[in-house]
Amino acid sequence: MAKDVLCEVNTCKYWAAGNNCSASSIYVVFNRGKKAANSEETDCKTFEAKV
C-alpha cells in the first residue's frame, strides 16, 4: 500500500501542505462504468469540498 498519497486538489478539505492527502483512507472508483485505461477514467470519492 502507498505510504504517502499526493493530491493537487486544493479545494478538498483533506488537501494538506506539500500536496499531501490527510484523509485516513482513500476511495477511488471508475467514472465511466468500464475498466479504467488511464487516470482520467477514475474519480476520487474521498473528496469533500473545503468549507
Give pLDDT tens digits for 12-51: 999 999 999 999 999 988 776 677 888 778 888 899 999 8
Give the pTM.
0.74
Cα–Cα distance, 15 to 21 (Å, whole number): 5
In degrees and rounded to multiples of 5, residue 11 shows phi and psi of -95, 0
Beta bridge partners of 30: 42
Quote the number of domains for the chain: 1
Domain that holds residue 19: 1-51
